[in-house]
Structure 1
Amino acid sequence: MSQHSPAIRSITSASISEAQPATPRRASVTRWGAALTAVAALALAGLAMGPASPALAHDELVSSEVVTAPDGAVEAIQLSFSNSIIELGTEFVITDATGTDATAGAPEVSGPNVTQPLAADLEAGDYAGAWRVVSSDGHPIDGAFTLSVAADGSAELLDPAAAGDHDAEQATPVNPNLPAAGTDLPPAPTSLYVFLGIGGVLVIAVVIAAFVARSRRLAQMQRDADQTDGKNN
């Protein structure tokens, strides 16, 4: 039987060593590194987006109008919002100077539009009104207005702004029959979310740095071991 020369054995051993697939340890290191990188990317993306401000999430009053019959008589008041309104919790209070109710039935909700039917044959004069609805994000919003009815039966809405559009000291509904909105707990300050996000990203960055350093040491140890095995063979 013929024997291979030392040079041939060395070349053969080196070729076999290069052809060997990655060990399970190396594959595991690669997978964990990719996973940690993905987590860091998601954390950075969440920090960049930031928490949505509850004040910006509430729906807003877009327009308001008086609905009239073909003969010009006042039939209803319609408010339109920036998003669909939750029907539960919708309420209107409209009274004349003596406190007499000027509404006729419950308000009707259709997507972003809320319509409150009015009593027939309203007398000329000003009617104090207040409304309250639940926006699509689940928070109540309210506002006040004045319905001015002329002698000829025509009418117009005055100051139909939402209370949430004003400063905090002006946010109390004009009509005391409606409870004040905004009774939910105040949200955490935006700065708190920013600090928590930065802290989380820093922790992840430290973990990734330590993991990469350890992986490099293991890879170097593996290369040294392979070189030692090649020399011994």
Structure 2
Amino acid sequence: MQYFTVNTVAEWICFLTALVCLRRDKDPVWRRFPFYLFLVCLVETGGIYMRAVLHAPNAPLYNLYMLAECFAITTFLYHLMKPYGISIWVPVVWGTVFLSAWLTESFSHQFGYYSPLTAALMSMVMVTGCLYYFFLVLRDDKYIRLSTHPPFWWVSGTLMFYFGGIATYIFFQYLLEASSAEGIRFSLRYVIFKVLNVLLYGSWTYAFICRYRQTKY
């Protein structure tokens, strides 16, 4: 039962929904996204196994996973903004900056710890990208019904998750100290990320359902 957490349940539901709704999608970027979600589920389950069964630190696993996370989210976000004329050089330059930051911080920690500064940088860039997407949508004359528009819900979930991540990194020390307070079973940081994960995968799940209905009908 230790593998059934708020995170893993939300992630597996999102993955299964994507697998059903996107498996025949004509757009290859949407159709391949379940592969990333499956990796998310494997990493989360593997992290629990390393911590609870092997009693080993799982930070290196999540640090390595950050590479896949950045690639998948950047690629998808670029795909959504591509119709609005954004240049391919934007994600290329960002990918180069991210990889340089990740390697620098990982080498400084000898790949034994998570890279919080790189994660914070990634969160800021993702938030900027999501806000810019909304700006492009608002500027466009084309009518969009946001309540059933898949990209809107995908970007909304991504924005909420990474914006919350930035706030968490800013107040990291405070949250760390609060977690040691007497009578608090779970750290505030732990609870915040659980809520953010539910918002992220809940929004993505709804986006996949909207995408399925859109392509089917």
Determine if the TM-score, normalized by the shorter chain, exceeds 0.5.
no
| Higher strand fraction (1 or 2) | 1
| Higher helix fraction (1 or 2) | 2
TM range (shorter): under 0.3
TM-score, normalisation: structure 2: 0.26
Bigger relative contact order (CA 8 A; separation at least 6) = 2
Structure with greater Cα Rg: 1
TM-score, normalisation: structure 1: 0.24
